[in-house]
């Protein structure tokens, strides 16, 4: 939820353009909207939390993307993949309080 909120906050215009494209191209959005998808990804990847989610949740997200490519006309079939990815992302945000606040972790001096 935090990562989606960060992405929406930082990349709202990109997300909106991508969403409009997907809605306008139900059968071919994966091709027609690819460039817009890349712009959302590029924008979001500048935030530390999003980078961590992309690293830690790459497997469930990849499964979701494969599902969308394989079933572009029946995306409801991909719901289990979405759920696994969102659960992973939620776990990452709960374990990363410094990252979610935008702070960078500081090194603790040894004594």
d(CA 94, CA 79): 22
pLDDT in tens, the chain (111 residues): 666 676 777 788 888 899 899 889 888 988 999 999 998 888 877 878 878 888 899 999 889 888 888 888 887 888 898 889 888 888 887 876 554 444 333 333 333
Range of the domain at 39: 3-95
Is 110 within a domain?
Answer: no
Structure confidence at residue 56 (pLDDT):
92
Position 104 in a domain:
no
For the chain, report the end-to-end CA distance as a whole number of angstroms.
Answer: 38
Query: What Rg value do the Cα atoms of the chain yield, rounded?
Result: 16
Is residue 44 one of the residues assigned to a domain? yes
**Long-range contacts, 83-88 (Cβ 8 Å, 24+):** 84/60, 85/57, 85/60, 85/61, 86/1, 87/60, 88/53, 88/56, 88/57, 88/60, 88/61
Can you give the pTM of this predicted structure?
0.54
Q: Indicate whether 106 belongs to any domain.
A: no
């Amino acid at each position: 939820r935090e990562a989606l909120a960060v992405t929406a906050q930082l990349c709202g215009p990109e997300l909106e353009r991508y969403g409009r494209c997907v809605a306008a191209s139900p059968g071919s959005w994966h091709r027609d909207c690819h460039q817009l998808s890349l712009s959302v990804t590029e924008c979001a990847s500048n935030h530390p939390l999003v980078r961590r989610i992309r690293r830690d949740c790459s497997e469930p997200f990849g499964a979701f993307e494969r599902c969308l490519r394989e079933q572009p006309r029946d995306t409801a079939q991909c719901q289990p993949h979405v759920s696994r990815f969102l659960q992973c992302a939620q776990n990452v945000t709960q374990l990363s309080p410094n990252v979610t606040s935008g702070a960078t972790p500081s090194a603790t001096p040894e004594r």
